[in-house]
Amino acid sequence: MGAGQEFVKSIRPIGCVFFLLIFIYFMVFCFTPHGSAIPGYVSPHDYSYYSRNDGTLGELKTELETNVFPHIAGITGCEVKSGRLEIDIEKDDFSSSRATILKYYDKNLFDFEKSESAQTQQ
């Protein structure tokens, strides 16, 4: 038996343990939540509160404009329409900005619209 074969034979149990440790780390990393999108932010009310009427949706609009929109990119407009909050987001930032908002609030409160970026409109 050559030196290489002997080394592979002796490292096999350690290699298996090493592989299992990396696999466990991978699973934990992939399936546990990571930090919040806006550090320290907590929604002041839940869906049932904001879905009551246009007045509470107005409160949500103010909350988003004050505490959420400054931390995300691409928001071009926000207004209460037909019992929902319509948020216009630039096409380039649409997915990430929408996902950030939906981390904190129920999707049934919103209508998201894609808008052209300011650079494209010029």
The upper half-sphere exposure of residue 71, i.e. CA atoms within 13 Å in the direction of its Cβ, equals 15
Average pLDDT over all residues of the chain: 86
Tens of pLDDT, residue by residue over 54-113, are: 889 999 999 999 999 999 999 999 999 888 999 999 999 899 899 999 999 999 999 999
- Per-residue pLDDT band at 121 (split at 50, 70, 90): very low
Q: What is the value of pTM for the model shown?
A: 0.65
